[in-house]
Amino acid sequence: MSQHAPQVVRPQKAAGTSPMAVRSGGPLAWLRDQHLGVILLLPSALTFLVLLVFPLSYGIYTSFLQRHVLDPEGVWVGLANYVWLFGNAEFWQSLAISTLWAGATVGLQIVLGTAVALILHQPFKGRSLVRGLVLFPYMMPVVSVILIWMLLYNALYGVLNYLLVQTGLIAAPIAWLSQPGSAFWSVVFVGVWKYFPFVVVIVLARLQVIPQDLYEAARIDGAGAIARFVDITLHQIKDVLLVVALLRTIYMFNNFEIAFLLTGGGPLRATMTLPILVYEQAFGLYEMGRGSAIAVVMFLILIGVMSVYFAFLRKESD
């Protein structure tokens, strides 16, 4: 009597069914195929709503209220805060100071940062060490920077006054942070010193990918150093500088800590920028509605600046 080996019955695939479809079968197939992307984006979307959309919406809503800082609700006043705002001379003065502050700091950061990047792009002994040291101001905490510069600016025992007097550039020590004229530009200098390494890093990264063949061809054609810089280097880094200018303008226009910690907005309101005015209205005078109205106007101004920037960028690309 012969014994037959047991036959293995294999399931047959239906016609037109791919192996991938068989492997992806199961109760979770519908979830994986149709909603996996939504599930992966959900944490980022929730974070965006919690950290950006909700505070922005709540700030806009508060700007229509007359609300004390300890009042959980407030009284609806409509556009009264904005009417007060646009009729307040101090707001326009602070807007002018903020515009000058952002323009001066960003302009000097770009000029100084680009110059330093061009120097660090050249080969010389110890270049890596110097590149690391240039980043030192940017890595320092803001509070430490403020304390150092307050000591340097001190009218009685500051190093800056001592050096200037010893070299004969000034006859007597200057109270840099106590005079309206010198206080503003002293604050501007600290802002430039603190943040110009950001420009150095971005511009230096762009300089390192410029093809050297362009410079060789320009030398063969007889172009000098200035012509090579204008026609090649500046043209190649122009787009990077535009992006840096936008980012630094947004940051410096909203910057609060440097001017506030150095001068508190004084002397005689010479360094009273809009962020300090928001703080003063909201937490000094306890007018949350007026402070929120100023913040909303700042937001709209920056939206306008970004719109002009993107319109200019679109025109350049066309």
Using the predicted structure, report yes or no on whether residue 17 has a pLDDT greater than 60: no
In-domain check, residue 56: no
Provide the domain count of the chain: 1
Q: Does 224 or 141 have the greater pLDDT score? A: 141
Q: Is position 59 within any domain?
A: no
Quote the pLDDT of residue 28: 52
Counting residues of the chain whose pLDDT is more than 70, the rounded percentage is 89
Instruction: Using the structure block, give the residue that is written with the tokens 């705002």.
Output: 85
Reported as a single tens digit per residue, the pLDDT across 172-225 is: 999 999 998 899 999 999 999 999 999 999 999 999 999 989 889 989 888 888
Q: Are 309 and 246 in contact (CB under 8 A)?
A: yes
Q: Is residue 97 part of a domain?
A: yes
Q: Which three-class secondary structure state does DSSP give residue 68? A: strand
The answer on pLDDT for 20 being more than 60 is no
CA angle, 56 as apex, 61 and 296 as ends, to 5°? Answer: 70
Cis amide prior to 141 (ω within 30 degrees): no
Residue 32, pLDDT > 70, answer: no
Determine phi and psi for 136, rounding to 5 degrees: -55, -50
b/e string for 242-251 if b means 16 or more Cβ within 10 A? eebbbebbbe
Q: Is it the case that residue 5 has pLDDT exceeding 80?
A: no
- Answer whether residue 255 is part of any domain: yes
- The predicted model scores a pTM of 0.83
In a domain, 19, yes or no: no
**What residues does 66 pair with on adjacent strands?**
75
Residue 249 falls inside a structural domain = yes
Calpha distance 67→168 (Å, rounded): 55
Lookup result for tokens 């519908």: 30
Domain that holds residue 152: 80-317
With respect to residue 72, please indicate whether it lies within any of the assigned structural domains: no
pLDDT at 98 over 90: yes
CATH of the domain at 88: 1.10.3720.10
Q: Angle CA(278)–CA(62)–CA(263) in degrees, nearest 5? A: 10
Q: Is residue 299 included in any domain, yes or no?
A: yes
